[in-house]
Amino acid sequence: MELTEENLNKNIMKLALPVALENLLHMAVFIADILIVGRLGTAPVAAVGLAGALSFIISMIFSALNVGTTALVARSIGAKEKEEAERVAGQSIFLSVILGLIISPLVFFFAEKFLIAMSAEYDVVVLGTPYLKIISSFFILRLIILTGSAIFRGAGDTRTPMVMTLVMNCVNVVFSCLLVFGIGGFPRLEVAGAAWGTSIAYMIGASFIFYKLLNRKSILTIKLKYVVGVRKARIQRMLRISLPAMLDAFLTQIGYLFFMKIVAILGTVALAAHQIALRIEAISFMPSYAFAVTTATLVGQSLGAGKIDLARLSMRRNCLIALTVMGFFALIFLTLAKPMAKLFHPEQDVLALSSLCIMIAALEQPALAIFMVYAGGLRGAGDTLSLMIITVVGTLCFHLPVAYVFGIVLKWGLAGIWFGVALDWIFRSIAVCVIFKLGRWRKIEV
């Protein structure tokens, strides 16, 4: 993929569209679980939402490890050093396997304690614990999937992760339906059935990643010697970029845990409404995340080729397109909030509350677009430290205290909490624009 100013828009859409579809499908995996168990009642929805939150948190933290992978692979491809990109890819797979072997048993054995710590009601804990234990047993596969996707994106191949996710989604929906409701001779496992459907999808996804990375016809092909053993210099290069990103993600997700604890204070109805509204708003995260990934790839490859002006232009073009798309989603959320929430078959009080939150989410879409794109560009350049600082300030000064004051102290309830989140996104979008203007990202050595 040769990058020039003339073909920039073409390359943006070539990269972004598969990522948008991939992440829409990723989110559909979570939405499918909620849609399916929604027919079982409010408590199962809350249980799957809360247990799934920990899975999401772990995925986001260890996706940050792959920030270094994407940046280094993109730089190597931009500099025409394919073998170095393959060696980085091999070491990234090695790290994901080691971390998966550590994380899976920890979450399995502390599943119930996590749900209790989140102030979940008794029936939510009883239903959510088996769900969390089952999916935690397959976290190692989830980490391999995340790492493989990051490798291909850094190399400019966003189609492969999209195809993999499509296959995973189909597998998840089919097996979840069969196992939740006991169709066609399968046992009726209810909430646990949704966990098994997701886990089987992880097996398929990880197998797909290994097949593509070992295939000589792929854009990158890793050899076993690149995976086995520690290559200190490469791992240090990855960690230099990834550690601030991981700390950023860790702080974000710890903040999210406290945030969910605030929501849980309001009761099971508010928790279920929050999960439904969050799943619907997450649909708009997909295109903004797609442009963030695209920006990271283009900035990384442009800097690898020594084209700083093209890296800057990539950020601005992606941001303009993202703002247009997110404006469309804002309009959809304002006008179709209630019909969208009804898809989850909620009870009437849950429907009313989730619809209100979806309308509030419309207000934060432009700020979300700006932040996601410029943050993606900074990650592609290796400037993860600046983003970590923004996260610390945003979480401690806006996300948690404002949500608590609006939602609990002022008694605005769940709507107040969502207003607090909107203010946090506005702050972060302003902060990331300031960092971009300062230009530190142009001088970072990876």
pLDDT in tens, 151-182: 998 888 888 999 998 999 899 989 999 999 99
Q: What whole-number distance in Å separates Cα of residue 20 and Cα of residue 293?
A: 9
pLDDT of residue 279: 81
**What pLDDT does 417 receive?**
92
Query: Residue 370 above 90 pLDDT?
Result: yes
pLDDT tens digit string along 205-263? Answer: 999 998 998 887 778 888 777 777 777 778 888 888 888 888 888 888 788 878 888 88
Answer yes or no: is pLDDT of 346 > 90.
no
SS (H, E, C) the chain: CCCCCCCHHHHHHHHHHHHHHHHHHHHHHHHHHHHHHHHHCHHHHHHHHHHHHHHHHHHHHHHHHHHHHHHHHHHHHHCCCHHHHHHHHHHHHHHHHHHHHHHHHHHHHCHHHHHHHCCCCHHHHHHHHHHHHHHHCCHHHHHHHHHHHHHHHHCCCCHHHHHHHHHHHHHHHHHHHHHHHCHHHCCCCCHHHHHHHHHHHHHHHHHHHHHHHHCCCCCCCCCHHHHCCCCHHHHHHHHHHHHHHHHHHHHHHHHHHHHHHHHHHCCHHHHHHHHHHHHHHHHHHHHHHHHHHHHHHHHHHHHHCCCHHHHHHHHHHHHHHHHHHHHHHHHHHHHHHHHHHHCCCCCHHHHHHHHHHHHHHHHHHHHHHHHHHHHHHHHHHCCHHHHHHHHHHHHHHHHHHHHHHHHHHCCCHHHHHHHHHHHHHHHHHHHHHHHHHHCHHHHCCC
Alpha-carbon distance 293 to 368, whole Å?
14
- Position 360 confidence tier, pLDDT thresholds 50, 70, 90: very high
Supply the pLDDT for residue 244. 87
What pLDDT shows up at residue 328? 93
pLDDT for the residue 66: 86
| Mean pLDDT, residues 273-288 | 85
Predicted pLDDT at 439: 81
The pLDDT value recorded for residue 331 is: 94
Q: What is the mean pLDDT of the chain?
A: 86
Structure tokens that stand for 243 in this block: 């550690």
Banded model confidence at residue 147, pLDDT cuts 50, 70, 90: very high
Query: Residue 402 above 80 pLDDT?
Result: yes
Average of per-residue pLDDT across 117-142: 85
Per residue in 240-254, pLDDT (tens digit) is 888 888 888 888 878
User: The dihedral of CA 115, 119, 124, 125: what is its sign?
Assistant: positive
- pLDDT band of residue 1 (cuts 50, 70, 90) is low
Residues 6+ away with beta carbon under 8 Å from 427: 393, 394, 397, 398
Q: Tell me what pLDDT residue 320 has.
A: 92
**Backbone φ, ψ for residue 110 (5° rounding):** -110, 20
pLDDT of residue 214: 86
Rounded mean pLDDT, 368-375: 94
Q: Are 162 and 289 in contact (CB under 8 A)?
A: no
pLDDT of amino acid 342: 86
Domain boundaries, the chain: 8-443
358-363 average pLDDT score = 93
pLDDT of residue 119: 62
Q: Taking 90 as the threshold, does the pLDDT of residue 366 lie above it?
A: yes
What pLDDT digit, counting tens, does each position of 406-416 carry? 988 998 989 99
- Gap between the Cα atoms of 228 and 91, Å rounded: 8
Provide the percentage of residues in the chain whose pLDDT is more than 90.
26
- pLDDT-based confidence at residue 3 (cuts at 50, 70, 90): low
CA distances from 175 to 48, 102, 117, 241, 418 (A): 16, 28, 31, 38, 34
Measured distance CA(55)–CA(92) in Å, rounded: 20
Residue predicted with more confidence, 344 or 97: 97
Confidence check: pLDDT of 120 > 70: no
pLDDT in tens, 48-63: 878 877 777 777 777 7
Q: pLDDT grade, residue 358 (50/70/90)?
A: very high
Position 105 scores a pLDDT of 92
Structure confidence at residue 232 (pLDDT): 76
Q: Which two tokens stand for residue 356?
A: 């209100």
When pLDDT is cut at 50, 70 and 90, the band that residue 431 belongs to is very high
Do 118 and 180 touch, CB atoms closer than 8 A? no
State the CB neighbour count (10 A cutoff) for residue 427.
Answer: 18
Closest CA to 205 of 53, 131, 96: 96
Contact between 32 and 176 (Cβ < 8 Å):
yes
25 pLDDT band (50/70/90 cuts)? confident
The percentage of residues in the chain with a pLDDT greater than 70, rounded to a whole number, is 96
Contact criterion met (CB below 8 Å) for 121 and 266: no
